[in-house]
Chain A
Amino acid sequence: MDQFIFAAEVVLNGLMTGVMYALVALGFVLIFKASGVFNYAQGVLALFAALTLVGIQNGQVPFAHLINAALGTQLHHFGWTVPSVMAIALTALVMVGLAFLIEKLVLQHLVGQEPIILFMATIGLAYFLEGLGDVMWGADIKTLDVGLPQGISDSIETMTDAWFGYGFFIDRLDIWATVIAALLVAALVAFAQYTKQGRAMRAVADDHQAALSVGISLRFIWVMVWSIAGFVALVAGIMWGTKSGVQFSLSLIALKALPVLMLGGFTSIPGAIVGGLIIGVGEKLFEFTVGPMVGGATENWFAYVLALLFLVFRPQGLFGERIIERV
């Protein structure tokens, strides 16, 4: 019985981690659906958003090192702090500006190119943004606190203790992350299905020429989609940043989003969620059951092996659009 309850806790914690994976995967799916681009920079986008948020919040001077080196000044901080809500709003604005620049400087020049070329462009973008984040805000690890509750939830522990005679350890941040992710997904689905812009977005994803012919501006849709992806990245950045600090390894989380996408399918929003949850729970359970037999640390590779199996047996993922070849 104890074992069973412990397993239940593992599953629960896995679900919470899965939500985090899903958040990053969601950004990938959005851009892939709307422009057919696999955006390698999505993870870095989350990092950049988190860095900018911390920077604005703490009143850091952007490009401080550069300015100081060039002018011999000693600028580091403006000497003020910005309230969380305002800092988040400002960061969201920065992400929209970034989307605009990406469209203007990169995508516009690559219209009609092969997907692989666009993919390569996003790899370049990823490294550029990582460097930009470094130069703008510095490479030191920062703590991010926007007022989200953290730490083990006492009430859940006592509650479960009373029910099962076993207190579940659940991080309050994880609970909040789940709620926020659910709201975000609901908002995105409503947007894509029921709004004019959402319909236009789906149209652009399907056929550029046809979209143009019904009066849709590709530029507008791309800026919009990258803005939304930037916003999703911001949410993911806040969650991961709060959980484990804002550091450059944050961009590596994006790699975990890959197996999530292979499971869920590159074109499905629900797929990203379910894929994230399966990977989250799967790797925790695997570590719990098989891990001790093989010396542990299975969490590092479990997701990728699962993705590999999917690639072999169901390449379109669980929810991806079926690959139909008309002959």
Chain B
Amino acid sequence: MNQMSTEGYVTADGRQIGGVLMEMKNITLRFGGVVAIKDISFDIRQGEIRAIIGPNGAGKSSMLNVISGFYHPQEGEVWFKGYRRGPMKPYQVARLGIARTFQNIALFDGMSVLDNIMTGRLNRMKAGFLSQALWWGAAEREENENREAVEKIIDFLEIQNIRKTPVGRLPYGLKKRVELARALAAEPQLLLLDEPMAGMNVEEKEDMSRFILSVNDEFGTTICLIEHDMGVVMDLSDRVVVMDYGKKIGDGTPAEVRANQEVIDAYLGVAHD
């Protein structure tokens, strides 16, 4: 990636990628004596699809949790939009414009799909307290605007027919989609996806890949995702970070990573022949 300037680069499929949106500098994260992440640095650029891959226990989810404020690294710096971020709570990170989904799905099971997605817009609502309760002027306009935005996302992700269904009743694949919808509702600048395709069948995986690509394409959202399925990762992402035992062992385009001997040994397995 030496040819890459700070002004961005052009991807293989001709998309223009911008400057650095998020930068992780020398991140080290320990749980007691266990080192989950060891001195890792990488950046995420405006408009790109960035993947973090690695075998189980490599520290991928930990890294995503560092980015979203659920974990706080003992060493290193997190930079977002050119500013160094102090130790923030997850809700503060969310308010910065970083939305995420979870490996094990964290939705509000008791609420309808629509209500779940609406919570994604909580931070965009400014109307006063009384006005909201009494359904007055500003609150009504705001609710309508937010509803409109949410309906667009619902159309976009093709979940119109389950809008009113309580999330607890949905099958796994659809829950994943609703979670993505809720994250999108916040109109994030950076979208973090923790194994968006884990546990899905082939068809569901194809749908999800399609959605991820069109989110990036239509809304210009920068995406950082963790995924196990190598095929999917190589198809989707512009650049890939490879982790193993908490260390970074590779970083580059899918083609570069595929050719990296260390990566092949660690993740793809040493060839049997």
- In the bound complex, residues from chain A placing their C-beta under 8 Å from that of B99 are 213-214
Residues from chain A with a CB closer than 8 A to the CB of B111 are: 202-203, 206
Docked CA distance A211–B68 (Å): 13
Residues of A within 8 A of B91 (CB): 211-212, 215-218
User: What's the nearest-Cβ distance from chain A to residue B216, in Å?
Assistant: 20
Whether the pair B123, A215 counts as a contact (CB closer than 8 A) is yes
- Looking at chain B, what size class is its interface with the partner chain? 35 or more
User: How many Å from the CB of B96 to the closest CB on chain A?
Assistant: 9
Select which of B106, B110, B132, B186 is within 8 A of A215 by beta carbon. Answer: B186
Residues of A within 8 A of B92 (CB): 215
The reply to whether A202 and B110 contact each other, CB–CB distance below 8 Å, is yes
Shortest CB distance A123–B (Å): 27
CB 8 Å contact bits of A298-327 with B (1 = contact, 0 = none) = 000000000000000000000001001000
Among residues of A, the one whose C-beta sits closest to the C-beta of B142 is: A196
Contacts of B129 in A (CB 8 A): 195, 197
Number of interface residues of A (CB under 8 A): 26
Q: Say whether A190 contacts B100, CB under 8 Å.
A: no
| List of A residues within 8 angstroms of B125 by Cβ | 196
Encoded as 1 (CB less than 8 Å from any A CB) or 0, chain B from 128 to 143 comes to: 0100111100010000
Task: Please tell me if A200 contacts chain B, counting CB pairs below 8 Å.
Answer: yes
A102 CB to closest chain B CB, in angstroms? 20
A212 to B94, CA, bound (A): 8
B106 touches A207 (CB 8 A): yes
Other-chain contact of A206, B68, B109, B120 (Cβ < 8 Å):
B109
Check: B76 CB closer than 8 A to any chain A CB. no
**How far does the alpha carbon of A93 sit from the alpha carbon of B46 in the complex, in Å?**
47
Measured between C-beta atoms, what is the minimum distance from A165 to chain B in Å? 45
Q: B106 contacts which chain A residues (CB < 8 A)?
A: 207, 209-210, 213
A194 is an interface residue with CB less than 8 A from chain B? yes
**B108 in contact (CB, < 8 A):** yes
0/1 per residue, B88-120, Cβ < 8 Å to A?
Answer: 011110110001101000111111000100111
A294 on the B face (CB < 8 A): no
- Name which residue of chain B comes closest to A326, CB basis: B168
Complex contact B109–A214 (CB within 8 A)? no
**Which residue of A190, A206, A213 contacts B90 across the interface (Cβ within 8 Å)?**
A213
Point out the residues of chain A lying under 8 angstroms from B110, CB to CB. Answer: 202, 205-206, 321
B108 CB, nearest partner CB in chain A, Å: 4
**B182 interface residue (CB < 8 Å to A):** yes
Q: Give me the interface of B with A, judged by CB distance under 8 Å.
A: 68, 70, 89-92, 94-95, 99-100, 102, 106-111, 115, 118-120, 122-123, 125, 127, 129, 132-135, 139, 168, 182-183, 186
Q: Which 5 A-B pairs have the closest CB atoms?
A: A215-B94, A210-B106, A206-B108, A212-B90, A195-B132
- Given A203-B119, A212-B70: 9 more A-B contacts, CB < 8 Å: A190-B134, A194-B132, A195-B129, A203-B122, A210-B107, A212-B89, A213-B68, A214-B120, A215-B122
Which A residues lie at the B interface, using CB under 8 A?
187, 190-191, 194-197, 199-200, 202-203, 205-207, 209-218, 321, 324
